[in-house]
Chains A and B, each alone.
Chain A
Amino acid sequence: MTDGFPSLPWAIQLQATANEDAEFAGAARWFDGSVFLRFGSAAYWMKIYGGRVIDVQAGPSPLGFTFAIGGEESVWRELLRDPRNRFLEFAAAGRLSVEGNLLEYMRITKAVIRLIEAARKIGEARP
């Protein structure tokens, strides 16, 4: 499916969807950093500041990232399709990996969950 998951338009849609979520805004209010999402061979960098995703880029940024969440594209698709948000289950099982500043990752657990929820809201379809 052209421009569906994973693609830059999809990632930009993720930015917009997260930014519409008041729960995400509150949880990310005191985070100044970037999240690198790796969906198999595709990857997107998101800058988060002041409770909003303020920039999205395809591929890694020369600025690096605060933490990265990555896994096989098939695992992400399963996460997007499941009626329940199984992100923490997949992370605990090692099906999704988290690397970088793990303390910041833990500190904004709710914001990460809400970001994943925004991704699930979009699903795999073309935005």
Chain B
Amino acid sequence: MRSPVTEIRGGYLEVQGVRLAYDEAGEGPPLLCLHTAGMSSLEWRFALPFFAAHGYRAVAPDLPGHGKSLLRAWRPIETVHDFAEVVRALAQALGLERPVAIGCSLGGDIVLDLAAHHAAGLRAAVCCAAGAQTRTFPPAFLERGREDAGIPSFHELNFYRGEASSGRGALPERVREIQWLRRRSDPKVTIADLTAWNAQDLRGRLRAVTCPVLLIWGEDDIACPREAVERTRAELPDAELVVLPGIGHFPMMESLEFNDLVLDFLKRKGI
């Protein structure tokens, strides 16, 4: 019997002139899983086989400049909307017809942007640790971080922040994995991601989101404030919010409940 890990297949394609990498598993209604700032599709390695086993085609791309995907024009992307347009083109190129967009943190911001601009193109959206406005980093920190000399020990900071951003109830081995994944982040790409995250402002745009939205927020999340998620829910026409106790900024890795939570949502929405 094959192990769940071997069910994940990797692939490449060119979108908007950029060579992108993605992981995927399973056949069925398409799920598009988007990773957090500075990270890669590896964050979805636990979710992909689960969704495949439940009859879905789950695809997790590496955003441009992340994982095995190249940069677009050798410059990091600095707006959520630019990421969203790349993701949308990738979904079309892969033949993902009206996917369910699922994302966490920066990935969650991208999901909301996709939903705000192209709601008819989505069956549903799942948005973790993200919101309509996520200006959470001091601009001076991001400005300093544009140069390596302005952010010494970036990798150590990212490593320890991996633990600080995880919840008290997170599985210890998953926290360790989060830390080591974060340690390999590229500083320039990560700072550009956080610049995009900081500039996210979809306030007043979410009434256009006609698809159902599941918002997930971990009670121990230090990177995305609950108020941002609550305000987002208030503006969305069809949204529900699930708060996970003891979970932080990476529910799809920290929590064993995450997959069941999303599956239940999909089933209830007839997907």
A interface residues (Cβ-Cβ under 8 A, vs B): 26-31, 107-111
Contact = CB atoms under 8 A, between A and B. Distances in A.
B147 A29 contact: yes
B91 to A, nearest CB: 36
A75 B252 CA distance: 56
B155 to A, nearest CB: 13
A16 to B, nearest CB: 22
A37 B149 CA distance: 21
Nearest to B151: A30
B150 interface: yes
Contacts of B147: 26-27, 29-30, 110
A109 B147 CA distance: 11
Contact of A110 (B144, B148, B152): B148
Contacts of A108: 149
16 contacts: A26-B146, A26-B147, A27-B149, A28-B149, A29-B144, A29-B147, A29-B150, A30-B144, A30-B147, A30-B150, A31-B149, A109-B148, A110-B147, A110-B148, A110-B149, A111-B149
Nearest to A111: B149
- B interface SS class: helix
A29 B151 CA distance: 11
Interface of B: 144, 146-150, 152
Contacts of A28: 149
A45 to B, nearest CB: 21
Contacts of B152: 107
Contacts of B146: 26
B239 to A, nearest CB: 41
A53 B152 CA distance: 21
Nearest to B153: A107
Nearest to A103: B152
Nearest to B143: A29
A33 to B, nearest CB: 11
Contacts of A30: 144, 147, 149-150
Nearest to B152: A107
Query: Which 7 A/B pairs are nearest by Cβ-Cβ distance?
Result: A30-B150, A108-B149, A26-B147, A107-B149, A27-B147, A30-B149, A107-B152
A114 to B, nearest CB: 11
A73 to B, nearest CB: 29
A45 B150 CA distance: 23
Contacts of B150: 29-30
Contacts of A107: 148-149, 152
A78 to B, nearest CB: 28
Contacts of A111: 149
A83 B179 CA distance: 42
With most chain A CB atoms within 10 A of its CB, the pick from B148, B149, B152 is B149
Contacts of B144: 29-30
Contacts of A110: 147-149
Nearest to A25: B147
Nearest to B146: A26
B154 to A, nearest CB: 11
A15 to B, nearest CB: 19
Contacts of B148: 27, 107, 109-110
Contacts of B149: 27-31, 107-111
Given A108-B149, A110-B148, 20 more contacts: A26-B147, A27-B147, A27-B148, A27-B149, A28-B149, A29-B144, A29-B147, A29-B149, A29-B150, A30-B144, A30-B147, A30-B149, A30-B150, A31-B149, A107-B148, A107-B149, A109-B148, A109-B149, A110-B149, A111-B149
With most chain A CB atoms within 10 A of its CB, the pick from B144, B146, B147, B148 is B147
A108 B151 CA distance: 11
